[in-house]
Amino acid sequence: MQLKGAGNMEEYRELAAAIPPFVRYVLTTLEAAGFEAYCVGGCVRDLLLRRTPGDWDMTTSARPEQTMALFGNCALPTGLKHGTVTVCSGMNRVETTTFRTDGAYADHRHPEQVTFTDSLQEDLSRRDFTVNAMAMELAGRLHDPFHGREDLKNGVLRCVGEPEKRFSEDALRILRAIRFSAQLDFEIEKETFEAISVIAPNLAKVSKERIQMELTKLLCSEHPEKIREVYETGISTYVSPAFAALDWQNARVSAALPKEKYVRWAAFLRCGNSPENAVRVLRDLKLDNETVSRVKTLVTWADVTPAADEAEVRRMMSRMEPEVWDSLMELNGYGTEIRALVALIRGRGDCLSLKELAVKGQDLIAAGVKPGKEMGSMLHELLEHVL
Ligand code: ATP
Ligand code: MG
């Protein structure tokens, strides 16, 4: 048997055993109909790293209409133009894409047109990084023409082919490189790293939402401190001017914090030294309102420690939702004394917000207070007293 990648039968068996039944079903069905079909990209990379893949992508010689016909009601035409059919298998979804090469990239982001091909190797060569350009058969046999396996072992992120050319085709790959280096804790190979700075201006053509999604994944990874690479490679000005202006060298974001995006963004944006600067960055990057509002609260209270006094702790807790308070305790590293008070306050069910106040608007109306501004400030005053 011809083995295209490094590996042995024992290991192939082990890898094959890690393919879940719903993916096995998709591969088996395609193969039984005479097509080639492989797991490809991130899921193969993650399997080799003994991590659980987040999603399962397949690459196949079947054309989209053939995949559609084969899976009938279970097939969704989610991206026919690019060869993608989503197959529903039980509760799960598998993205199945026809072997393809990508045509010219007019806008440095999307290929103008894709061309279907019968060659797995051609399909792998269009992929961004060597560690993302491996395919695996149902039986676990690996296809690895760009030596992704070796890079995976050495912890190296390297473009498939010429880095400058690949980043020029699609500038988003620049951010993907930095994001993967944080998620996998990999070094970016020298030539790939240098090409990032050269092609950085093309990032101006990538949408803010896409930039944000990559940065969010980076911040929520095991190595959020690698956000510094965005500055070191000289691409921060293309992220946003407010982002570039941050005092990033003093950023304190670490993997010890919860993985929620608002917590990680807040931990990083503390280095902007004001809630307004934090909000500016988040607005530039089109983050959702809830995240913006929570980050603003956390940055406002970052580095504030209440005295170990019930009333003061209550007052501070009342300024935010309970969940945000929990995150603030992590962010500010509060000790056992304050945490004990919080437990006491919560255990007793102390009133911490207007809606928990025993006195309601109705009661004030009954007492002759006019509804409106006056009543609002009176309720707030009462809450202050209670706190
Ligand atoms: P994740 O763990 O974030 O899902 P992934 O590597 O699976 O990482 P996807 O965005 O799901 O990333 O893409 C699946 C595969 O498609 C990649 O592994 C890669 O082979 C290819 N790919 C995705 N985006 C690009 C791109 N911009 N340029 C080239 N190849 C890409
Ligand atoms: Mg993926």
CA of residue 57 to ligand 1 center, whole Å:
9
**CA of residue 199 to ligand 1 center, whole Å:** 20
What is the residue type of 361? G
- 240 Cβ closer than 6 Å to some ligand 1 atom: no
CA 265/CA 249 separation, integer angstroms: 15
Return the minimum-mean-pLDDT range out of 71-85, 118-132, 363-377: 363-377
- Report the C-alpha dihedral over residues 238, 242, 248, 252, rounded to 10 degrees: -120
* Ligand at shortest distance from the CA of 175: 1
- H-helix or E-strand containing 213? helix 208-219
Q: Is 226 touching ligand 1 by the criterion CB < 6 Å?
A: no
Give pLDDT tens digits for 177-211.
999 999 999 999 999 999 999 999 999 999 999 99
Instruction: State pLDDT tens for residues 324-345.
Output: 999 999 999 999 999 999 999 9
Ligand with the closest atom to the CA of 171: 1
**Residue of 354 and 92 predicted with greater confidence:** 92
- pLDDT given for residue 369 in this prediction: 83
**Rounded Cα–Cα distance for residues 286 and 73 (Å):** 36
% of the chain residues with pLDDT over 90: 82
Residue in this structure with the two tokens 């879940």, named with its chain if needed = 20
Instruction: Tell me, using a 6 A CB cutoff, whether residue 132 lines ligand 1.
Output: yes
Closest CA to 195 of 253, 238, 137, 235: 235
Q: How many CB atoms lie within 10 A of CB 203?
A: 22
Q: Ligand 1: does its nearest atom lie under 6 Å from the Cβ of 137?
A: no
**pLDDT higher than 50, residue 2:** no
Return the pLDDT at 358: 84
Residue 250 pLDDT > 70: yes
Give residue 7's pLDDT: 60
Protein residues within 5 Å, CB atom, of ion ligand 2: 42, 55
Element (H, E) at 39: strand 37-40
Q: How far apart are CA 299 and CA 107, in angstroms?
A: 37
More confident call, 104 vs 308? 308
Of the bound ligands, which one is closest to the alpha carbon of residue 42?
1
Task: Say if residue 281 is exposed, middle or buried (CB neighbours under 10 Å; 0-12, 13-18, 19+).
Answer: buried
How many other C-beta atoms can be found within 10 angstroms of the C-beta atom of residue 305? 13
Tens-digit pLDDT profile for residues 83-114? 999 999 889 999 999 999 987 676 666 677 88
Closest CA to 47 of 36, 39, 59: 39
Q: Cα(82) to centroid of ligand 1, in Å?
A: 14
User: Which among 159, 153, 184, 154 is positioned nearest to 174, based on CA atoms?
Assistant: 159
Give the pLDDT confidence score for residue 360 in this predicted structure.
Answer: 82
pLDDT score for 373? 83
pLDDT at residue 154, as a whole number: 98
